Amino acid sequence: MIKMLSTKEILSTLFSYMVNYYDWERFPDFEAIYQFILKEGEQTFHYYISIAKGKAEYHEGEHESPSIKIYSPVSVWLDIASGRLNGFWGLITRKYRIEGPLSYLKQMDKVFGKKIDIPEIEEKIADYEDPKKRIWKKPDKVLVINGSPRQEKGFTFFYLQYLLKGFEKAETEVEVINIYDKHINIEPCRGCSTCWTKTDGVCVIKDDANDLLEKIGNAYLTVYAFPLYIESIPAKLKALLDRRFIIILPYFIPYCNLTRHPLRNKKERYMVLFSVCGLPEIEHFKPLVETFKGMARGSHTPLIATILRPGAEGLYGSPYGKEYLKKVLESLEQAGKEIIEKGKVSKNVMKAISKNYIPLAAWREGANWYWYLKREK
């Protein structure tokens, strides 16, 4: 069980950070003893950092002849350390006080200012991630992950076929993997982080997810096709997507005012979201689309199209739907061609695919009759 850290544990972490931040390259001859006297309620914590011979160490306790003494409430010093409070301003406004030469305090920012130097931390956003700079190359092959538990008998595949027809018309090879095939074994991620700390991106679980992720990693374009399950992704596909933890490094970089991880192997790749659902309104896909946007950001793999068909069964089975169904299927084929040729789908085609063509009252009445009769039998 994870327990709350005590103030002493928090301070030990803080001082161990400070020691790491000591910039021995810039200040190899700097010598000082910083004594901290930090108070929280009735408790007083004594720590000192000694810097000598290019080395910084922290100790608990009191040094007999420190260069400077810093008296502060714990919360104030934590605010200064995190950058929430300017150290100098804190001193002027008497949030804390010092004994000893001010120069030691003034130098702290620089002396403890070593920047982390990790070669894999590359903050540049690749051109292919920016639709304005992207140069789309027509793919020779598309990988399609069918995440419908009903595999080729499902509505996902019924609609998907037409998108695939469009791919083939644009002369692209298609590989479909039905991940609910009983021979494909995918265990859920265990959250052990071994792939981050010890094995350089190799998962400790030995099952079919590893080969699948390698395939996805090598594919220029992957289509994720599946039915909406509780506003989200069917469990086996979600397990596969969670296992993508291996593709990212455990570091943090900025991306458009957010934070993400760097990729282990940088490569130009794209993805398409293809989903069908039972309810008739497009709004039901909102959480899923947000999830995929996040996934695209996190995996440095732009989401180039979201092909969504709500009311999948209703449109197929309704006596009022036949003509509209034809229109949807033709639009899906068109979307397939556009994805391959342009790397995007025009708005009117997307709209034609997603529109609810059956008046809602008739849709609900029809759906209620369908299930009522099913239950009666």
Helix, coil or strand: residue 207:
coil
Name the closest residue to ligand FMN (Cβ).
154
**Beta carbons within 10 angstroms of residue 166's beta carbon:** 23
CB burial string 93-129: b at 16+ within 10 A, e below: eebbebebeeebbebbeebbebeeeeeeeeeeeeebb
Which CB, 231 or 365, lies closer to ligand FMN?
231
Counting contacts by CB under 6 A, is residue 217 touching ligand FMN? no
Q: What angle do CA 47, 52, 56 make, to 5 degrees?
A: 50
Q: Which region among 17-25, 122-130, 150-158, 240-248 touches ligand FMN (by CB under 6 A)?
A: 150-158
Q: Per the structure block, which two tokens stand in for 212? A: 């699948």
Residue 366, interface with ligand FMN (CB under 6 A)? no
- Residue 230 CA from chain centroid, whole number: 20
Please state the closest distance from residue 198 (CB atom) to ligand FMN, in A: 37
Query: What does the block give as tokens for 189?
Result: 């991620």
The residue (of 77 and 363) whose beta carbon lies closer to ligand FMN is 363
Q: Count Cβ atoms below 10 Å from residue 22 Cβ, excluding itself.
A: 21
Sequence-distant (≥ 6) Cβ neighbours of residue 87 within 8 angstroms: 80, 105, 108, 109
Least Cβ distance, residue 282 to ligand FMN (angstroms)? 10
Q: Which region, left, alpha or beta, applies to residue 175 given φ > 0 means left and ψ of -120 to 50 means alpha? A: beta
Judged by CB under 6 A, which of 150, 165, 169, 297 binds ligand FMN? 150
- In the list 87, 139, 154, 321, the residue contacting ligand FMN (rule: CB under 6 A) is 154
CB of 228 vs ligand FMN, minimal distance in Å: 4
Q: Interface with ligand FMN includes 313 (CB under 6 A)?
A: yes
Q: How many residues bind ligand FMN (CB under 6 A)?
A: 17
Rg (CA), the chain: 29
> Is residue 112 part of the contact set for ligand FMN (CB under 6 A)?
no
User: Site mask, ligand FMN, residues 274-293, x = CB under 6 A?
Assistant: --xxxx----x---------
Which of residues 50 and 156 has its CB atom nearest to ligand FMN in the complex? Answer: 156
Asked if 312 interacts with ligand FMN (CB under 6 A), we say: yes
Note the residues at the interface with ligand FMN (CB under 6 A). Answer: 148, 150, 154-156, 227-231, 276-279, 284, 312-313
